Amino acid sequence: MPRNPVPVGLLKNPWHFLSLGFGSGLAPFAPGTFGTLAAIPIYLLMQPLQLPLYLLATLAMLLLGFYICGKTADALGVHDHGGIVWDEIVGYLITMLAAPFSWPVMMVGFLLFRFFDIVKPWPIKWVDRRVSGGIGIMLDDVLAGIFSAVCLQLLLAYTNLSG
C-alpha cells in the first residue's frame, strides 16, 4: 500500500481527475510509469496535428498543469505526491515533439522519458529539489521531456529507428 494513498473521491473533482492522470496516478506501484502510459492515447490524438498546433496544445497543457498540480498537491498536503502524474503526461508529449509516428519511436520515447524522469540528472534533480508548487511539480518533467526529445531526435538522425 502506498505511503500517502490518494482518496479515490478526489477523482470526482475535474482538476484532480486531470492531475491524477485520469486515475492512472492511483496505481499502487510506479504511478509515474502508469501516468506516462496514460499519455500515449493523448499523443495518438495529437500526433496528426501540425507542429504549431501540437506546440500550442502542449503549452496549454503545461500551463494548466501549473495550476492543477499545485491544487492537487495542496489537497493532498504533499508536494509532488507520486499520484500527481499530469507532469508525466506533458513530459511525454514534449519528448515526442516533432517525432515521426511509429510504434518503435513511441516506445523509445517512452523509455527515454522514464529514464530521465527517474534518474534526474543535473539540472533536473536541482529543479526537482528547489522549485516548489505547481511550477516545481511540472518543471522537472518538462526538463526530462526536453532531454528525452533531444536524445530521441539524435537517435532518429543517426540510426534507422524511424524505419
- Report the C-alpha gap between 69 and 137 in whole angstroms: 7
Nearest residue to 61 (alpha-carbon basis) of 81, 24, 30, 86: 86
DSSP code at position 117: H
Nearest residue to 59 (alpha-carbon basis) of 93, 96, 18: 93
Asked if pLDDT for residue 6 goes beyond 80, the answer is no
Each residue's pLDDT tens digit, 89-129: 999 999 999 999 999 999 999 999 999 999 999 998 998 88
What are the distances in angstroms from CA 39 to CA 6, 93, 104?
20, 7, 16
Cβ count near 99 (within 10 Å): 20
Q: Give the mean pLDDT of the chain.
A: 93
pLDDT band at 3 (very low <50, low <70, confident <90, very high): low
Q: How high is the pLDDT of residue 8?
A: 76
Nearest residue to 85 (alpha-carbon basis) of 94, 77, 99, 73: 73
- Report the C-alpha gap between 36 and 74 in whole angstroms: 22
pLDDT band at 85 (very low <50, low <70, confident <90, very high): very high
Please work out, in degrees rounded to the nearest 5, the angle formed at the alpha carbon of residue 56 by the alpha carbons of 23 and 63. 55
Cis peptide before 123 (omega within 30 of 0): yes
Q: How high is the pLDDT of residue 1?
A: 36
Say what the pTM is. Answer: 0.94
Asked if pLDDT for residue 144 goes beyond 70, the answer is yes
| Single-letter amino acid, residue 5 | P
